[in-house]
Amino acid sequence: MASKPLRPCRHAGCPILTRDGWCEKHRPSAQRRRSAPYHGWYFLPVWTQRLRPQQLLREPWCVECRSKGLRVRATVADHIRPHRGDWSLFCDPANLQSLCQSCHSKKTLAEQREN
- Structural domain boundaries of the chain? 43-114
Please state whether the predicted TM-score (pTM) of the whole model is above 0.75.
no
Average pLDDT, integer, range 41-58: 97
What's the mean per-residue pLDDT of the chain? 91
pLDDT in tens, 101-110: 999 999 999 9
How far, in Å, CA of 54 to CA of 17, rounded? 52
Model pLDDT, residue 27: 84
Kindly give the pairing relationship between strand 76-79 and strand 17-18.
unpaired
